[in-house]
Amino acid sequence: MVFEQFLLGAASGWLLAIFMIVVVWDTIWKGIALWKSGRSNQLAWFICILILNTAGILPIIYLVFFQKKKRK
């Protein structure tokens, strides 16, 4: 019984740490993508990135493939 509680306590600590890392990761990518889509007047992308929580995947896809490139 005590051993099971110890394992659950250790697992919940690791899960909390992983969860916090994912939250920070997603917040950084989401912030960058929202900023760039807002500055480029891409309302559909802004709304999708704002609403959908994809652990940073959708913002990265937007930034790599769909953001408007600046012309020099």
- The model's confidence at residue 2, banded by pLDDT at 50, 70 and 90, is low
Q: DSSP readout, 11-70?
A: HHHHHHHHHHHHHHHHHHHHHHHHHHHHHTT-HHHHHHHHH---TTHHHHHIIIIISPPP
pLDDT, tens digit, 9 for 90 and up, residues 11-64: 677 788 888 898 899 899 999 999 999 999 999 999 998 888 888 888 888 888
pLDDT, tens digit, 9 for 90 and up, residues 35-48: 999 999 999 999 99
Q: First and final CA of the chain: distance in angstroms? A: 67
Q: What are the residue boundaries of the structural domains of the chain, listed by start?
A: 21-67
State the pLDDT at residue 7: 57
**pTM, two decimal places:** 0.72
